[in-house]
Structure 1
Amino acid sequence: MQRVRGVVASRKGAPVELVEIDVPDPGPGEAVVRVQACGVCHTDLHYREGGINDDFPFLLGHEAAGVVESVGPEVHDLAPGDFVILNWRAVCGHCRACDRGEPWYCFATFNATQNMTLADGPDAGRALSPALGIGAFIEKTLVAAGQCTKVDPRARPAAVGLLGCGVMAGLGAAMNTGGVRRGMSVAVIGCGGVGCAAVAGSALAGAGRIIAVDLDERKLARARGLGATHTVDAKVNDPVEAIRDLTGGHGADVVIEAVGRPETWEQAFYARDLAGTVVLVGVPTPDMRIPDIPLIDVFGRGGSLKSSWYGDCLPSRDFPMLVDLYLQGRLDLDAFVSEEIALDDVEAAFTRMQQGEVLRSVVLL
């Protein structure tokens, strides 16, 4: 067992704390990873606010890269010294999705079985709930070996670690779920970290026209830097009309909704071309409902209405490929790193994130 420092949300809405945590030695199928970098994601804030569940205390952080320090028994394709990106979709290999050759839909993903625990105080020994089964705002974390994806060690940890969640979600929403192909028109509604990644993924796939929509000019500027050919300020323009105007009156071939709200999903529905595709990658809250859209419109417009969970990615397939593109200079993951911060600056980073000042703050360890 090792004692390290980590960032914990102890109760709903309370500021996070930097505390001592006990990390057990890896058991069968597990690995301990020395974290080098971890992005500050909206999902971490959702955990702190009780928006995921109430299994406090949470060990936050999940967009991470680092080096394997030790592995437990029954781990055969991972070794100490391997540079890895952590993922929260460790596929089982034998559920009904995996058996039909679609492991990116695995219905039985898994995490480490042992618990990391609080080290001191009246709650010493209390088990922590790691965010998305990872918990990476910590010097060393315990994960299932399947949550470690080996990539080229020349890559910058602060940049490629973001593939662990938000950036992969956006890239995959375009490239995997949306099936964006060369020459297509794409609209992205919401240009935070995930939306900007969807813009970058559309550009990487060769889309001919990429329309970024947001209320914040700062976010639209970032989207332009990542490949948007046109932008729409939703404060002064109706997004549906603007997208249609920019696509010959038809609507976009693929519209990616990266906000997670009923009203923006409805905009996406009507902003797509006939037989086009809508991709929902923004995360809604449990109380939200699909807008009251006439069923004849669903039938008459044809096409596909899809949700994208983690960009429908398969980490073992997608992470090494995307890291290679990054090293070739074809995918600018560095552009997503707005600032590098210390482990004790996570709470302040949440504020900067909520105010739209950053794409990603990244904790360096």
Structure 2
Amino acid sequence: MTASEILTLDPTADVAQLTADIMDIESVSGNEKALADAVGAVLRSCEHLEVVREGDSLIARTNLGRQERVILAGHLDTVPLPHVQGSRGTVPSRWEGDVLYGRGATDMKGGVAVQLALAVALTEPSRDVTYVFYDHEEVEASLSGLGRLVGSFPEWLQGDFAVLLEPTNGTVEGGCNGTARFDVTTTGRAAHSARAWMGENAIHGVAEVLVRLRDHEPATVTVDGLDFRESLNAVLITGGTAGNVIPDRAVVEVNYRFAPDKTPEQAEEYVRSLLEGFDVVRTDAAAGARPGLNHPAAAEFVAAVGEEPKPKYGWTDVARFSAMGIPAVNFGPGDPLLAHSDDEHVHADAIRACLKALNEWLA
């Protein structure tokens, strides 16, 4: 797309085609400006919306004095484009029948298109609505556009209930697991590999760590009626200095996805107890979010969707809303198992069904 075309998104078009048009504006994390400009131009053209922008993140809202305010949120960025030659998960998008292929098809341009279409069409919603479009979701949490908005415009992010339009196959997913990362370090004594008996091999020392992780049985924890499956895994191992040196240090990176009944501190305590005797350092953590499905707005939304709600196993930004005291769920078009894949795709009808459900609930 040329620079002049970037500002011509048509939010009144078929929402599936709007998704394709949004995908065609490449927006890998750190490169969201063009898409933010295009979305901002649409939002500012709506007389019924108040709009603010911070960096490449935007908030638009109605202000009709309704008794309840709902937040719809989604991120503008994608993970990097695939390197596999011939991949269908790239940019620009491509239609194969009624299936849309390309980077962001699932995560989460369909949700962004639904938000934008609703923002324009719902001039008199039954609830006041705040629309949040933010950058830098697919990278470290410290860069999150939503996190910046919480700090810069907290009054704009007040609400009674929030829907994050992450892909859920059109099913409401309540809450989310928390996540934490740990470095587990083993130490030894360096020596020449020809005289290995003079040293102590730190890489061999990680064997016990791996055995404990392998034999660990992850829990399933019921929170507010939903069953959250936990997982605890080694995800990266580093160590050694050269091919002829007995290594004196090795590190196993461990990722723990924990149910939202735990705080990050409780999750850390659990991992330390499992790996007692080893040097364990927590390097990152984000709390999960309870489902909040007992809130009246959430119950009405679940009824409107008409599907049995499920738990969200991965971490999403519903946790940020939960931390602000706002019950939040995930609901969006596309199969979350396809997110970030080189075969990322979404069916046009899934995007239309998502728009229909939200429109009927809010209109």
TM-score (norm 1): 0.25
Q: Higher RCO, 1 or 2 (CA under 8 Å, sep at least 6)?
A: 2
TM-score by length of 2: 0.26
User: Which is higher, the Rg of structure 1 or of structure 2?
Assistant: 2
